[in-house]
Amino acid sequence: GQEGQAAPGVAYSGQQQQTSYGMSQAAPAGRGQLFVSGCQNATVGNIVRGDYMPYTENHGRPVYRRSQQAAVNSSGGVNMLDVLIYFWDDRDGPAFCGWWFGPKVGGDQ
């Protein structure tokens, strides 16, 4: 279950971030594909930009996974992470309802 977990989102550098960095654009690129472009924050942009394919489902909506893992710098070096786009419904309140980027569905990162 996802209950009791922190808010879904992106926290690759120790803080939660939704897609408000220049409002990255996710546009259909073909059957079920998404292509994400834009993003005013260079660090977040390098993580989220790219092609996404349908991967699984969450809360009745598709979950998309980036075709290539993202290289993310950390104190231990460079980590390769999956990047997902997923929908979270309002079960945890309206502030958490919407589409999110993250390394896993419903995580605190």
96, 59 Cβ separation under 8 angstroms: no
For the chain, helix (H) and strand (E) counts, in that order, are 1, 8
Question: Across residues 69-85, what is the average pLDDT?
Answer: 92
User: Side chain identity at 32, as an amino acid letter?
Assistant: G
pTM: 0.69
32 membership: H or E segment, kind and range: none
Query: Would you state the pLDDT for residue 107?
Result: 76
100, 8 Cβ separation under 8 angstroms: yes
- What are the structural domain ranges in the chain? 25-102
105 membership: H or E segment, kind and range: none
70, 80 Cβ separation under 8 angstroms: yes
Give 28-76 pLDDT, tens digit per residue.
Answer: 445 689 999 999 999 999 999 999 999 999 998 999 999 999 998 889 8
Give 5-19 pLDDT, tens digit per residue.
Answer: 333 443 333 333 344
Query: Would you state the pLDDT for residue 1?
Result: 41
